[in-house]
Chain A
Amino acid sequence: MMKTFAVRNLKLCTKDCLCLYVCPSGATDTENSIIDISKCTGCGVCADACPSGAISMVPWFYPPQQPKKDSVCYALNALAQSKLDAEKSALQISASTDKDGLARLMKAVAKSERLIAEDIMREAGYMLPQSHNTHVLLESLIKNPPEGFPVEAAEKLLAMLPDNEL
């Protein structure tokens, strides 16, 4: 059985407060409506009791992503680059045009292409923040930082996100 903890989605929570009645450890009884994970035992009774389906049980550890073949990564990376070239072009046009419709359309294209590129990069081996790939990438960026790279942010991430493939 995967070890989990409870989280409350505040967009869905309708304050029926049944979680307060059933929680054996008082983890759901907080001022800011965020479940106290230091008290949560992972029993899941709050999620079962919630009438608005606002509580879900989230795993502490995520299984690794399916390994990726080079041929697939190559096709994914090439497509992502094309999407990002279109995003960049659209942002430049949007920032420089005086036409309201064109400015909005280009903003929409940029947003859409970014979402598609993110989805592609996710499948190119970077699905999980906790993955080994992500760790090795952050480590290599810290070791040889490009000019102006925020090394401290990368170091914090490494410390906060344990590698799930070790």
Chain B
Amino acid sequence: MRYICMICGYVYDDAKEKVPFESLPASWKCPLCGAAKSDFKPEETPVSKLSDKDNSQEVPASKMKPVSQPANANPASAPTKASTPPTAQIDTPADKDSDLKKLSPDQLSALCSNLARGCEKQYKPEEAGLFRELADYFASVTPAIDDASVENIAALLWSDIDNYSGLRAAADEASDRGAARVCVWGERVTRMLSSLVIRYLNEGEALLADTNIWVCTVCGFVFIGDEAPELCPVCKVPAWKFEKIEGGK
């Protein structure tokens, strides 16, 4: 039997390994991306299932959920916003009549910080700075979450994994390649975040003692280890694209 890492696609082939997958300890980690043993699934049919080139072949998200759901995380109790300020819904042009195009301050912040990155890529540093100013403004007026907790973050990540399959269906139906593309990296990074947050809930500070946390600045993949991986297991950029997360305020 072959087992595939749902995050980076690493294959554990019982035929080539000394220890059968089922006999590996629960603390075993994916040698490529550090994902938990529970983030592997048995291969069902052809190997192409996790291929980025043919997303429609992928296993439905319901079959790919990690085995260990967070004990305390209740997906029904996702975090709620504190009282919404008058600026919370801002009309954007395309369709003034529908709620669809009303964006929240944090959505506008992400929209502007992304446009800032777009300007950087086009070698437009001044425009990038201005978009960053807009992004910072919208971040500053984003209301606080009144029940922020690690458990609620775990619940959000858990429901996001399902939401990616909904997004993928909508993207496929509209033949929207760009929207289908965001599912590929986004879903894997979300699975990794979910896996790490659940591990933190189970293992506490021991998970992170005397080691570093690295974030891929391109796709957002999070890696725990002394050094950044040579290549990002999700998007394949080199180690220097990883940022080390420092402690302190």
Residues of A within 8 A of B (CB): 7, 58, 65-66, 68-90, 92-93, 95, 99-109, 111-129, 133-134, 136-137, 139-141, 144, 146-150, 153-154, 156-157, 160-161
Q: If the complex has contacts A72-B171, A86-B153, A128-B118, are A123 and B93 also in contact, measured as CB distance less than 8 A?
A: no
Q: Are B176 and A58 in contact (CB under 8 A)?
A: no
Q: Is the interface of B mostly helix, strand, loop or mixed?
A: helix
Cα-based distance from A126 to B218 in the complex (angstroms): 18
Q: If the complex has contacts A77-B100, A129-B122, A140-B93, are A119 and B114 also in contact, measured as CB distance less than 8 A?
A: yes
Q: Are A153 and B114 in contact (CB under 8 A)?
A: no
Residues of B within 8 A of A (CB): 78-79, 81, 86-87, 90-95, 98, 100-101, 103-104, 106-107, 109-111, 113-115, 117-119, 122-124, 126-127, 130-131, 133-134, 137, 140-142, 144-145, 148-150, 152-153, 156-157, 159-160, 163-164, 166-167, 170-171, 173-174, 176-179, 181-182, 185-186, 189-190, 193, 196-197, 200, 204-205, 207-209, 213-215, 217-222, 243, 245-249
**Smallest distance from the beta carbon of B33 to chain A beta carbons, Å?**
14
Cα-based distance from A99 to B220 in the complex (angstroms): 23
Question: A95: which of B130, B149, B213, B249 is its contact (CB, 8 Å)?
Answer: B249
Q: Are A120 and B117 in contact (CB under 8 A)?
A: no
Most A CB atoms within 10 A — which of B131, B153, B208, B209?
Answer: B153
